A = this chain, B = another copy of it.
Amino acid sequence: MRLSKRANKLVGQEMFIILDKAKDLESNGKKIIHLELGQARLAPPPNLLNETCKSLKNKEVGYSSAFGVYSLRKKIQEKLQNQEKLKVDINNILISTANLLITQTFHLVTDEKDSIVAFTPTFPSYFSAANFLNLNLIQVPLSFKNSFALTKKAVDIAINKNPKVIIINSANNPTGAVYSEEVISYLLDRCLKKNIWLISDETYSDISYGQSFFSLKHAISKNVIVFSSFSKIYSIPGFRLGYALANPRIIEKLSLSNSSLISCLPIFTQKGVEKILLNDSSYVENAKEMISNVLKKVVKILNNSKSLSNMYVLPQAGFYIFIDISQSGMKSFEFCDYFLKNYFIACTPGICFGSRFDNFIRISICGEQKDLIQGIKLLVNHFDKNL
């Protein structure tokens, strides 16, 4: 029996190949240092977990609205109003899984074989969502030399490809780059003039400790869709919860998309997040401080390396460091394989984030700190020894 053409195009998230290999080794008794996962070890806010359980015990196990739980949407509105002085309405807000929102938003603004531009390196799910929907994803690479910043030149290249939609990911996974207000505004202006949709994935925006983050949330009345996730900021990736901000016509369509794909999301997870939303500042500040401290330690080790000190860009946000491994003479999957087999350390191959980045690996700094430091030291020693 033959599968469809689109099924044959499905790639999923190739970065999980290394994770699977690591798990195979673990099931054979090997201790693995995980530098490949963007999964915070920080405990989630206790209130959030308690409220989720309370909702479960209250038997809130029925269907919710395809727009998401109303009271959570209301709290998001209040938070944006209070903390970001942003005037949005309830009908600008929809709850969904942030990862699913990639496919959902692409689906709303493209038909098969349409083109979409992503600036690389970037989050691999954009590639898999584009494949799922049979889109032509055009990669516009940013350069290490410019610290992976979005530039006006890159924007012009993107616009000239004449795509239906451009997606940006600032703060960026995997580079940690935060794009400047000037260039994002330029991009917005060019997209408006050229009738191009602009999708802004702001999942890591709350975890910025360098340059201040410039959001596109203010522009949602136009051709802009913004989405974000509660996974990273509250250390609850397993909740699979995020939200979209857009004009009401888009939000209405997204509710139909939810209804078509998943009906709705659980009530109890939404109630859990709702509980913490307006009182999250101490948790978030603490989380940022912890990650920032870990980052400092990691950076110190990297900067003391004679081979790697110039091979990475200091991240301004997020959990990741993107490291140039050209000196190994290996391609990124080959290197990650080698490193896993010889050092029992799992990293993510750079090519997962864009075809031009096969000489990079991504290191996640949000795991167990002792393991992380040991892993980075082994990485540095490997390169310094072999230089």
Residue with the highest number of chain B CB atoms closer than 10 Å, among A39, A60, A134, A262: A262
| Cβ-defined contact, A108 with B7, below 8 A | yes
Q: How many chain copies?
A: 2
Nearest residue in B to A44 (C-beta to C-beta)?
A: B61
| Cβ-defined contact, A66 with B12, below 8 A | yes
Known interface pairs A108-B3, A223-B1; A10-B238 also in contact (CB < 8 Å): no
- The 0/1 profile, CB within 8 Å of B marked 1, for residues 87-101 of chain A is 000000000010110
Contact of A195 among B1, B16, B66 (CB under 8 A): B1
The docked-state distance in angstroms from the alpha carbon of A131 to that of B57 is 37
Q: In A170-184, which residues have CB < 8 Å from any B CB? A: none
Known interface pairs A4-B111, A100-B261; A253-B10 also in contact (CB < 8 Å): yes
Binds B, one of A266-274, A295-303, A344-352: A266-274
Residues of A at under 8 Å CB distance from B?
1-7, 10-13, 16, 37, 39, 43-44, 49, 52-53, 56-57, 59-64, 66, 97, 99-100, 103, 107-112, 114, 125, 128-129, 131-132, 134, 164, 195, 197, 222-223, 235-240, 249, 253, 255-269
Chain B min CB distance to A221 (Å) = 11
The docked-state distance in angstroms from the alpha carbon of A16 to that of B7 is 31
| Cβ-defined contact, B238 with A267, below 8 A | yes
Sort A-B residue pairs by CB-CB distance and give the 9 closest, nearest first: A12-B256, A12-B259, A128-B260, A61-B238, A53-B53, A10-B256, A7-B108, A1-B223, A132-B260
30 A-B contacts (beta carbon < 8 Å):
A1-B109, A1-B222, A5-B111, A6-B107, A10-B108, A10-B256, A12-B255, A12-B257, A13-B259, A13-B263, A16-B259, A39-B62, A49-B57, A62-B237, A63-B238, A97-B262, A99-B261, A100-B261, A100-B262, A107-B132, A128-B260, A129-B260, A129-B261, A132-B257, A132-B261, A238-B264, A238-B266, A240-B263, A240-B265, A266-B269
| Cβ-defined contact, B257 with A240, below 8 A | no
